[in-house]
Amino acid sequence: MRYASIDIGTNTILMLIGEIDDSLKIKAVKDFYQVPRLGKNVSLTRKLAERSVERALEVLENYKGIADGYEVDRVVASATSAVRDAGNGDDFIERVKNDVGIEVEIISGETEADIGFMGAVSGSPYSDQPTLVIDIGGGSTELSYGTGMKPVVVKSIDIGAVRVTEKFFHHDPANTAELDKADKFIKAELDQFPFATIDPRVIIGVAGTPTTLALIAQRKYEFDVSAVTNYLFTMEKLGEVYDEIKVKTTNEILKLTKAAEGRADVLVAGALILIKILEAVDAKEFLTSDRGLRYGYLLYKHKQLLGK
């Protein structure tokens, strides 16, 4: 069965054209990536700005046409942190339904973490091992831990790359005082997750922050899915990349990899969040993956269809 699975995030809107077989294995046909930054300033205003909404609707209209062209059987779509937090989030969902013809489900942070875990481990050769999945979004970060396809601990924390950047970074590049304040804030927010109770053998970082950092680490200017699929990223190498980008301007970061387009200005915040999480579990290394929420949501909706 062929799906279009759309992930409407704070910074990006992603679409996977994917096929799922009777064994629930997902085969990616094509991935699409746009950065309308729907959640710009939502953490400050609690409202989706009209210009941001218009950009998102334009992306979704385009995606609908692409999905039709791929002759998908179903279009499924989820909305996360920005739409959850915005007072006019329901209005946005109604406009997408009326103007574009796509029904969007606003999912809770914990559901997002649960489904994101399924997506991440669907592409992992180590799914039988206790796994921590880190999904750093624009508005929030989802942490999930478990073995197999079902996590036993999930938590959504309001420390996304866009949110932290808008709250603390007012220079380009951020100065030392701003970085220190962000560091303390992130560490305090991470106290919400019971790191002491988990013992991961495998750690997977999904979504744009870890994959973009992995491309920079490997000096890959063009996006290469093979370079970010189960790439073994050491803490030493991550520290080197962070030290490199934290002193660069947004334009200088853009010169490192094309994958930084639309996220270069929030990449340092994303990297800092990632480092603080890895330090909390005393990690020496982790794997990267581009299989995030849109993969898990496809699987989740297909299981619903089958009554599982």
Range of the domain at 263: 125-289
> Residue 164 has what pLDDT?
97
Judge whether 223 lies within some domain: yes
C-alpha count within 13 angstroms, C-beta hemisphere, residue 137: 32
Q: How far is CA 230 from the centre of its chain?
A: 16
Co-location of 183 and 278 in the same domain: yes
Mean pLDDT of the chain: 96
pLDDT digits (tens, 9 = 90+) for 201-241: 999 999 899 999 999 999 999 999 999 999 999 999 999 99
Co-location of 130 and 105 in the same domain: no
pLDDT digits (tens, 9 = 90+) for 47-75: 999 999 999 999 999 999 999 999 999 99
Q: Crossing angle, helix 109-121 and helix 293-306, to 10 degrees?
A: 100
Which amino acid is located at 150 in the chain?
A: K
Distance (Å, whole) CA 221 – CA 259: 7
Judge whether 117 lies within some domain: no
Distance (Å, whole) CA 27 – CA 279: 34
Judged by DSSP in three states, 80 sits in coil
Q: What is the CATH number of the domain that holds 90?
A: 3.30.420.40
Distance (Å, whole) CA 225 – CA 208: 12
Which amino acid is located at 273 in the chain?
A: I
Judge whether 78 lies within some domain: yes
Read off the tokens for 248.
Answer: 């660069």
For the cut 90, the answer to whether the pLDDT of residue 43 exceeds it is no
For the cut 80, the answer to whether the pLDDT of residue 308 exceeds it is no
Q: Crossing angle, helix 267-280 and helix 176-189, to 10 degrees?
A: 50
Co-location of 141 and 237 in the same domain: yes
Q: What is the CATH number of the domain that holds 172?
A: 3.30.420.150
Judge whether 249 lies within some domain: yes
pLDDT band at 36 (very low <50, low <70, confident <90, very high): very high
Which amino acid is located at 117 in the chain?
A: F
